[in-house]
């Protein structure tokens, strides 16, 4: 916006915004639906009795090494992604569950574990967009690209 004003190209910016709103945005209904569902799931999970049960179970990990808990989180996100559960759902659930005070992982270590789990999903899950694109370009099965090539 700053450079458009500086260069006097506000009309091009207006055309681009109009094109985005009229052509691109209506085609993104799948993404909107996904993120709305994730938000609703996270809100419902945070306000349900299930969160207390999960937090009680996680309190068992309070005596464990944070590194081991971090690896378990990465494995959980990756495992759920391999069976088709989107990692944003599992990440939001884990983040809400670990938000309690006195948690073995909090702040930066938790964020690193969640990000590492998402990275593992991105490279291994047959449902990842990158794996699907690579499988299409190489004309191979998504399981060959995601799992087999990354574990050799």
For 21-33, give one letter per residue: b (16+ CB within 10 A) or e.
eeeeeeeeeeeee
- Decide: residue 114, CB within 10 A, 0-12 exposed, 13-18 middle, 19+ buried: buried
Q: What is the pLDDT of residue 30?
A: 65
96 touches 46 (CB < 8 A):
yes
117 touches 76 (CB < 8 A):
yes
Please determine, for residue 31, whether its predicted confidence score (pLDDT) is greater than 60: yes
Q: What is the pLDDT of residue 72?
A: 86
Q: What's the whole-model pTM score? A: 0.61
**Is 125 in a helix, a strand, or coil?**
coil
- Decide: residue 122, CB within 10 A, 0-12 exposed, 13-18 middle, 19+ buried: middle
Q: What is the CA radius of gyration of the chain?
A: 20
53 vs 71, more confident: 71
């Amino acid at each position: 916006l700053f450079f458009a004003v500086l260069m006097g190209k506000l009309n091009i910016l207006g055309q681009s915004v109009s094109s985005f709103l009229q052509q691109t945005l209506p085609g993104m209904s799948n993404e909107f639906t996904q993120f709305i569902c994730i938000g609703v799931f996270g809100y419902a999970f945070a306000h349900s009795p299930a969160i207390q049960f999960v937090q009680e179970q996680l309190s068992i990990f309070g005596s464990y090494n944070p590194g081991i808990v971090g690896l378990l989180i990465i494995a959980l996100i990756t495992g759920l992604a391999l069976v088709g559960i989107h990692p944003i759902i599992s990440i939001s659930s884990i983040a809400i569950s670990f938000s309690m005070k006195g948690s073995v992982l909090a702040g930066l270590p938790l964020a690193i574990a969640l990000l590492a789990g998402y990275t593992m999903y991105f490279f291994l899950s047959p449902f990842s967009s990158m794996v699907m694109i690579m499988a299409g370009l190489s004309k191979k099965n998504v399981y060959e690209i995601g799992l087999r090539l990354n574990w050799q």
